[in-house]
Amino acid sequence: MTILAFLIPITLGMGAVGLCVFFWSLRSNQYDDLSGDAERILFDEDRPLPAASARLSNTTKETAP
């Protein structure tokens, strides 16, 4: 029965990690547009993340004549 002393904390720990990940995804606005995200997965082009693309497009705009 000593195995329970390991297994129960591991179970709880895994659940808690999952809960933390859910909280993080909620805070980073990943639940704001569920139907949009379902469609976005089918987009062909591979683009950098919005923040990166903003920075990227900014620098290209600044260097452009």
Closest approach of Cβ 16 to another protein, in Å? 7
Closest approach of Cβ 15 to another protein, in Å? 5
Which structure tokens are listed for 4?
A: 């329970």
Q: Which CB contacts under 8 angstroms, 24+ apart, belong to 27-30?
A: none
Q: Three-state SS for 29? A: coil
Total residues found in the chain within this entry:
65
Residue 13 touches another protein, criterion: CB under 8 A: no
Q: Which residues here bind another protein, judged by CB under 8 A?
A: 1, 4, 8, 11-12, 15-16, 18-19, 22-23, 26, 29, 31-36, 39-40, 42-43, 50, 53-54, 57-58, 61
